[in-house]
Structure formats: structure tokens, C-alpha cells
Structure 1
């Protein structure tokens, strides 16, 4: 094991068991990369009702105990799936036997219960990690509990915490009566450690009480210290900037490989790209698009303002005046679903708007499209551009967050760069970057292949990012050692 390093990653979701977005992908893939580098890493998540039954085979019951929250006592059962990276489940049907992961009036109580159960589970297992790696607001109470209560017990006193922000916009802010539910000292609220505009903030708990903070790209780490991107937390982040790091997420290169991906019809690699052109034809046929050599612009996204759909909708007709086809896959806000359904009727044979999610179709889009559009207002890291780069689908994106860190603007003279960026958050920026891409595309196959190959040669596997996390873990472990 890497210097005997023990890490417990705590989150509210993890692929392939349950995921609602990028957090689930990260918690599903980062631990594997850490394990490969010799870390004793384990994961714990709630046993949500919607966890896939197919993934729960071979799960073992380990034990159970009571968790006290204010006047309520609830039972926590601990299950484990004993695989290469063991994953523990905290089971309680009262809190997690529900159809959705979040969005309930008692989310404050649900995740206070989860936090206490995770800490109590360690005693039951006799497993005390060097680092508790907490993720997003749902795990904020753990950082509070550990510092204010559990650290007074010898086995917990040496545990350090890393708190990772995946999206600062989602903060877990609740009424101040939450302090009673938590059973934490009231001075934590009065001294401002958890108080946020007269509410209790689980995100602020993590930012205040964690020993170190990280977020999912270097640029986003800088952006969240500003008023524009800080969502009210910029002050505390500036005050803790000495312990704030940005580490770009990665993707699983084994399961996302155009040479072996079982979801796509034709396999290909950076040296033999014929299969990509064939996948394009397959995609056109499946989606009812005109079968001709025309640039396909694609989006796989949540339909929300954050993703730039407000500015895209303003220039959608201008975009379609170019000789292009457009493919979208995703669900979200009703107004955007309605807009794109209308566009599908407006541009038959040229626009395919798929208001649902399908993993196989997603992979076929990555493999068959030419361009991947991400005009995000902000993007902590973004995974879509990494998948598209892996499959040689050239990204067009706004220069923000992780998009700025992973996409290098293509220079037609030097033949360097793997995509196209724009800075101003408006429809004109989208069209400008699109025209830059189309200019190279129409210049000729040889020129376009330079960009495609640059994209495919980009490396955003987890190996490099895992090393950076290990550096943080080892720094935390060193900080826990007693001084002479």
C-alpha cells in the first residue's frame, strides 16, 4: 500500500450504483485509479431505493446500530460489496427508501443521519482512515461532527478531512432549526461557522471545518473566489485559499475507448479513423438525419441555463443557417424541452432532439458527431468535453472552469490545439467559435484530421489526477502526525 495510506471516500452517489451527474461519475472512477496506485481506498454512499438491483449482487450485511438525531432514533444498517474497491452502503428506508436522491423537505435530517452513520460505522468496522474525503454539501455535516464532537475520541482524533466542491451552486441551505436536528453545539451557528444568511449551510460546514478543500479544476478554484461564481461563499473561500486546490477530474479510459466500446458499431483509433466516419453514417441513419457529409454538432447535457442553453436558443436559427446538422440528448427544464422539440419540427432531417437519456445513444453520439458544443455559463470541470476528446469529436466551448483547463484553442498555423473556445457569454460567441471550427472543417480532410487527432491524443485519464489527490492525502496524513 502507498505509505500505508487509508482513505474513505464519502458521497451521496457513485456510479455504477446510482448517479445523477458528474459527482456519481467521479466517485465511481477516482477510487479505482487510487487503488491502482497503492492506496487502501474504500467508498461509502447511502443505499438509495433506486440503486440498481443488478449492482447489489454479492452484497453482504455487516451489522447495524442506532443513530440519534435530536429526539429521533433511527437504525443504520451497513452493507458492503466486497470488490477491488470495497463500497459500503448505509441503509435506512425511512430516509433513503424514496424515488429521488434529493429535493425533500427533510434533506437536512437525511444527510445529518448519513453523516453520523458514516462516522459510527468506522467504530463498528474498526476502520479509521487517515483521510475522510467528503464530496459536496451532503457530506458537510461529517466535517462538523468530526471536528466538534468525534475528534475528542482517540481513534477519531487523527483523521483528517478533504472536502471537494463539485458544484458550488448547490449548497444545502436549511432553516436554523437544523442545529437541533444535528445535535451540534449552538455556538457553531452563532460564531458564523455554519450560518449563511440566517440559515444553516451544509456546504459552508464543509468549507469551514475541512482540513483542506479541493475543487474539480484549477480555473474553477480561482473563479469561486470571485463574486460572480462564489454564490455567496467567495469570502470564506478567499479566507481559506491557502488550503484550496484545483484538481481536474478524469474519465475512465478503459470503459470509454473507441477501439473497444461495445455501444458503437465501428471501432477506430487515432491512427485508423475510418470507423469514425462510418459511425457518423450510422448515427445519421438512426436519428433520421440526411445521409450526407455535413458537420454534425452535438450536445449531451442537462437542459438548464448553466449549460448555456439560454444563449444557444437565441442564435439557434442562425446556427442552422450554416450547412450543419444538430443532435441533442438530455432532459431538464420544461421551457428548453419545449424549445428543442419545436426545433426538431422546424428542421426535419437536420436536427435530432432527443429529450431523454440513453447511455448507448450517448456513446454513439460521441463516436459519430464531428463537434461537441458546451457553451456553459460556468462549468466546474465538465466531463462531456473529455468524452468527446477521447472519441475525436472536437469541442466548441466557453472558456470557463474545467473547459478552460482541458481545451486548448486550435491554431491553424502551428496545427496545435484540440478545440475551439469563446469568452463572451452570448450567442455571438457561440457563432464565432463555430465559424472558426467550420473554417478548418471545410478547408479539407487533412486539416480537420489534425484537430481530431490532437483531440484523441489529449490525456484526461484519472492516473494524473489521482497522483495529485494522493499528494493532498499524504500532506494531510503528515499534518496529523504528532510533532517532536
Structure 2
């Protein structure tokens, strides 16, 4: 039995700010239980819903040195969906309404967390063969293992994997403070280790010291070797490319299932969507105050409203996008300029644009089920999950060819009758607009072809089973 420990700063259903939580919370239950014992450890935030906190059982506690301070470390445990989760408890670090706060506080908080995870291992009776770290918050785990814990035979032979979910976030702070917080030897603060451009960089430490590096799609693994996507670390990524693997994320096919989804107006499946899916469109049109009309081309956007998501392209051609035969439904929050952009067009064209400037899981499911197409023109997208959800619901994705979008959406080819969506290559507003217009043309003029696109999209398998198989191969390779 191979023992794997996921170390992450968030995991569903306990706490979530992004796709990382889906991976850390959902992926473990898809491994082959006969061969892999996969467990997860994360902070016990005060923000975790009380119903889960009440189910956690006390396991142990101890005091740990963090540089010159002594800190309390409590360990709690809970089994959820057949997976064991551990929680590191410390009220000084993990109070507050959100998992992350000011970066200078997070730098200390996740240094504490990384060291506490390793310190707790001998006491929880679980010695992993592999510690699988996720994002910069756990970047110090591979560093500490090679440093502070090296003398203890318990840790000998434990392998580490670093998964980069988004290279933009690296955990950077000034060197003097990080030396003081982490208690690491000055040896580690050199340009070939933790130092980057004069500061200390947690993610860089994780990339340098882990045995393998993964990221969340094959294309993103290639892109981050270049200066444009490399966020200042492309040289290091190229130096370690022999240890770099891209594995695309999945989605939970039980939760995202149009046949059983409790949130949508009318359930349907791959056999009957031609008759039943449209009922979701009519119901959403009615609820949002849009024209109830089957002949409108309904485009959905469910997203953080930020530059990364390509919304400046939308801004540039929004008048053309909101043509009379089109409806646009937006859900999400983010930068004020984009929130106001969509509010303005909701006011200007209230019968064809609906701006929902908040986040609601229920509303997102309704949009995946109701829309004809789903727009994701991202500047960069390590993996992206929304396009996988839209494929699952028979809503045709229109995406830019970057990162995971390029790996998961096959562009429509009308001559070969292949593809699951529409794509454009260059980061250009009119190229995006052309892709939307081409999609509209197929939708209005070639309905049978459109329905075949949906058939192929709904038949594609982006469940976690697929990803879990790839990770199992990686673990086997690392342990052989």
C-alpha cells in the first residue's frame, strides 16, 4: 500500500477560494483504495463551517519551535467521503473570516503550517511515502524536509511533489523577515535556492527542492517555460523540465451531472437534451427578466472578473457581442471596472444582458445548464474547470487556446465533423468576436451540426478518474 499525503491550504467541502480546493478535496477519493492510501492535511480555519468543525476529533497536540518562538500545534481528524482529513489547529494563525489575509501574515502563517505538518507526522501514525504539496503555501515543506528534519531517520526516503496551480502566486516577501520567521539557515537564501530578485520566494523553494513538479495541464507545463507565462521563474522551470509533468484537472461527475443536478430547472442527459435542455434556457430567461425566446443565442460567463480571464477583450467588443440575436449572462465578482461594465450593459440592454455580480453555486449550475455557449477568453488559464462543466452540461465552450483550455476543448472542424467547441488563438478581441460569430452561424444555420458538437462534448470524459490514473502512474514512477 502506497501512502500519499496531500498538503494544501484549502480543500472542499471545508474551505474554498479557487480550483485548488476542488483538487485537494475531490481527487483523493478517486484513487484505487487497494493500492493507495491518500490523506489530506490542511489548516483548521475558524472560517470552516461549524458542522464540520464539530465532527473533527482531537488527535494530539504539542509545542513546536518556529525560529525563536514556541507555538502550539493541535491535530484533529475527520473522515469525509471515505478520505481521512487532518487539520492543524492554532488559533493565533487560523482565525479570521477568510483563509488568506495580508501577505506578510500569510508568509508567517504558512511557514508555521509547513513545519507543523512535518512535525505532526510521527504523532499521527501515518508515514507517507510521498508528500504531495499544492501551491506556494506549502512550498517550504520540501525545504524543511531537506533541512530541519533531515537528521531524524523517520523522514528519510520520503519523496515530495510540488503542484503549481497558478504560477502567478508565489509567496514572496523580504529576505530578512523570512529568515527570521522560518528559522532556516542563511545557506538557503541564495539565487539557486529560495532567493529570487532580492526577495525570498516560497514557491521557488518548493520547485527547487521537490523530487517532481506537476502543473494542471500539459499546455500550461510548456507555457511556463517561456518568459510570457513564466512569471520570472521560467529559467528555473526550464532547468527542471525533466521533472515537470502536466496533468489536467477533472471535475466531480456526481456533483456536475445534468441528469441528477438538484439546482437546475429541468434535468436532462445526453440522449434527451435536444428536447429537455431548452427548458432550462426558458426558465433562466424568465427568472432573469430576459426575452423568453428560443431563437436567442445565450452565452454564459461564470468567472472571477479579472484581467487574467480575458475580460478586457469582452470590454473592447461588448457592443458587438450584445447583438440583438444574442443574450449574455454573467456571474461573478472581481475588479470594479468589470463589475461596472456588466452592470452598465445590464441597464442598457436589460432584455438581453444579465449581470449577476455575486457568487452563487446554484446560479452557476443553472447557467451551465441553460446557455447555448460558454465564453472563456483567458489571457492564461493553468487548467480551467468551467469549460469542463460546460461540456458536461452540453453547453458549447468558446475559448482561447491557452493552458488547459487548449488541452480540453477540441476546435470544431466543419469539414471533418469533429470538435467539441470553438477556439481562437491570439489574444485579440476581434479574433474572439469572430469565434463567437462562427459559433452563432453554426447554431442558427446548421442545427444538426450544433447538436453533434454537444453529443461529442457530453461524451468526453473529464472526470477525476482520468486524472487520478495519471497521478497513480506518477507516484509509481517516483517510488520505483
- The one of 62, 68, 83 aligned to 1:65: 62
Find the counterpart in structure 1 of residue 88 from structure 2: 90
Q: Would the aligned equivalents of 1:56 and 1:81 in 2 still touch at CA under 8 Å? A: no
Q: Which residue of 1 aligns with 2:277?
A: 276
Q: Distance in 2 between matches of 1:191 and 1:157?
A: 26
SS in 2 for 1:228: coil
* Structure 1 residues 64-463: aligned runs within 5 Å: 64-83=61-80, 84-104=82-102, 105-177=104-176, 178-190=178-190, 192-273=192-273, 274-293=275-294, 294-321=296-323, 323-463=325-465
Structure 1 stretches lacking a partner, 5+ long? 479-484
Q: Encode CA deviations 1:93-134: one digit per residue, 9 max, x unaligned.
A: 111101222232221110010001100110111211000000
In the alignment, which residue of structure 2 is the partner of 1:33? 30
Q: How far apart in 1 are the matches of 2:345 and 2:34?
A: 48
What per-residue deviation string (whole Å, max 9, x for no partner) do you get for residues 48-80 of structure 1? 121122333421011111121122211111111
Once the two structures are TM-superposed, the CA of residue 82 in structure 1 deviates from its matched residue by 2.4
Q: Secondary structure at the match of 1:408?
A: coil
Alpha-carbon distance in 1 for matches of 2:167, 2:60:
35
Moved over 2 A (4+): 35-38, 54-58
> What's the offset of the Cα at 1:384?
0.3
Q: TM-score, normalised by structure 2?
A: 0.97
**2:68–2:183 CA contact under 8 A, matched in 1:** no
CA distance in 1, matches of 2:343, 2:297: 21
Contact kept in structure 2, 1:108 and 1:174, CA below 8 Å: yes
TM-score normalised by L of structure 1:
0.96
User: What is the CA–CA distance in structure 2 between the aligned matches of 1:25 and 1:435, rounded to whole Å?
Assistant: 33
Cα deviation code 1:184-217 (max 9, x no counterpart): 1111103530001111100101110000000000
Contact 1:220–1:380, Cα closer than 8 Å, also in 2: yes
Alpha-carbon distance change, 37 to 30 in structure 1, aligned in 2, over 3 angstroms: farther
Alpha carbons 1:131, 1:161 under 8 Å: kept = yes
Deviations 1:239-274 (A, max 9, x none): 000000000000110111111111112111111112
Do the aligned partners of 1:67 and 1:113 also contact (CA within 8 Å) in 2?
A: no
Q: CA deviation digits over 1:23-71, x for unaligned, max 9?
A: 0111111101125574101001111121122333421011111121122
Q: Structure 1 residues 50 and 188 mapped into 2: Cα distance closer, same or farther (>3 Å)?
A: same
Q: Take 1:37 and 1:245, find their aligned partners in 2: how far apart are those partners?
A: 25
| Unpaired stretches in structure 2, ≥5 consecutive residues | none
Tell which deviates more after alignment, 163-172 or 55-64: 55-64
SS of 1:127's partner is coil
CA distance 1:303–1:112, shift in 2 (3 Å): same
Which deviates more, 301-310 or 424-433? 424-433
CA distance in 1, matches of 2:33, 2:367: 30
Aligned Cα RMSD in Å?
1.1
Q: CA 1:471–1:152 in 2, change beyond 3 Å: closer, same or farther?
A: farther
| Cα distance, 1:445 vs structure 2 | 2.8
Deviation at 1:230, TM superposition (A): 0.2
> Greater CA deviation, 194-203 or 176-185?
176-185
SS of equivalent residue, structure 1 residue 61: strand
Contact (CA 8 Å) 2:8, 2:24: kept in 1 or not? yes
Give the whole-Å Cα distance in 2 for the aligned partners of 1:477 and 1:305. Answer: 40
Residue 17 (structure 1) aligned with residue 26 (structure 2): no
Distance in 1 (alpha carbons) for counterparts of 2:184 and 2:191: 13
Q: Structure 1 CA distance, aligned partners of 2:276 and 2:408?
A: 25
